[in-house]
Amino acid sequence: MTISQSNLAHQMTVAGVNFYNSLSDNQKNITFFDYLDGERLFWYYPPLNRHGLPIRDMEEVQISLAFELLSTGLTKKSYQQAKQIINLESILGPIEKAAGKITFKRDPELYYFTIFGIPGQKDPWGWRVEGHHISIHFSIWGNEIISMTPFFFGSNPAEVRSGPKSGLRILKEREDIAFELINSLDESQKRNAIIYPEAPYDILTYNSSRVSLPKEEGLKVSKMSKSQKTILNKLLEEYVNQVPDELSKVKLEKISNYGIDNLFFAWGGGQSLGSKHYYRIHGGNFLVEFDNNQNQANHIHSVWRDVENDFGYDILREHLLAYHVI
């Protein structure tokens, strides 16, 4: 743990305490769960009712404090993306209505803030922000942020094609860089990288609490050229750099220690914008998945996972074992 990470954990804890203390007793009953409650391990990204306090049931000052907490776990760019994804509900609703689709209500105020454990105490605590196409999870223990995954961003539509926001592509970089990479490969490399002739309907890990995937598949990064590795690194950083530098540097160092060359890049489906496509980068405890299949390839799901330490599982387990609790 670095001093800077300790400072970030402190900022996050202060923001968590301020939000928690702003709640009425009734709101706390809705927002609060024990840290070890199974609810903390359940996550989902489609639109549905959730446990936690939705924005629509907050007062203005509470909304400000809630988003202050969210901002402590994100960079300026990813915070802006989160707000854009939330506001995209106001665009998606009219699009679906015009198409005659009957769906779950699209409402930018149906994003839920949930607290696990009491912020600022000696025991671990965590927070979750979740709604349609956002699922963000942080766990904090004392002066250390012990987990920041799963980290899910999606976008529907992936590209807004009409109205005042026409042309908006909230997650364009993680799509365009991937196209740059797959199209930089020669035919021999593509034979290894393309493991699915058609894109899967969704990310394969879906909303699982623990990652379960086949062995690493696709093109091993060691088989890429220097320029291709540079593109791969840009794509990888697009996910890891969603969190502040204090955290992303630690994660990138772990990936470096594991060996960039030991990662695998896998692809499915088309290789140009507008075609249904899927990719993942996987190796050791690092995994990202991206899928753009639904709505005629205009609906993105993307996720960053830590195979062993999603939800702080590995760190917490080591502690419990050390104290003979399990």
Question: Mean per-residue pLDDT for 22-46?
Answer: 96
Q: What is the pTM of this model?
A: 0.95
The single-letter DSSP state of residue 324 is T
Q: Predicted confidence band at 4 (pLDDT cuts at 50, 70, 90)?
A: low
- More confident: 103 or 117: 117
pLDDT higher than 70, residue 316:
no
pLDDT higher than 80, residue 65:
yes
pLDDT higher than 90, residue 322:
no
Tens digits of per-residue pLDDT, 81-107?
999 999 999 999 888 888 888 777 899
How far is the CA of 146 from the CAs of 138, 140, 281, in angstroms?
A: 8, 6, 22
Question: How much is the pLDDT for 214?
Answer: 75
pLDDT higher than 70, residue 326:
no
Q: What are phi and psi of 125, to 5 degrees?
A: -145, 165
Tens digits of per-residue pLDDT, 224-270?
999 999 999 999 999 999 999 999 999 999 999 999 999 999 999 99
**Tokens, residue 181:** 């990479």
Q: Which helix (H) or strand (E) holds 141?
A: strand 134-141
Tens digits of per-residue pLDDT, 178-216?
999 999 999 999 999 999 999 999 999 999 999 988 788
CB 33 within 8 A of CB 93: no
pLDDT higher than 80, residue 320:
no
In the chain, what are the domain boundaries?
3-149, 172-308
Rounded to the nearest angstrom, the gap between the alpha carbon of residue 6 and the centroid of all alpha carbons in its chain is 22
**Tokens, residue 132:** 């349609």
Rounded to the nearest angstrom, the gap between the alpha carbon of residue 127 and the centroid of all alpha carbons in its chain is 14
pLDDT higher than 80, residue 324:
no
- More confident: 148 or 98: 148
Comparing 142-151, 153-162, 307-316, which segment has the lowest mean pLDDT? 307-316
Q: Predicted confidence band at 321 (pLDDT cuts at 50, 70, 90)?
A: very low
The single-letter DSSP state of residue 259 is -
CB 153 within 8 A of CB 291: no
Residue 248 CB coordination number (10 Å): 17
SS3 content of the chain, % helix, strand, coil (to 5): 45, 20, 35
**Percent over 70 (pLDDT), the chain:** 95
Handedness of CA 180, 241, 267, 176 (dihedral sign): negative
Question: How much is the pLDDT for 325?
Answer: 44
Average pLDDT, the chain: 94
Amino acid at 32: F
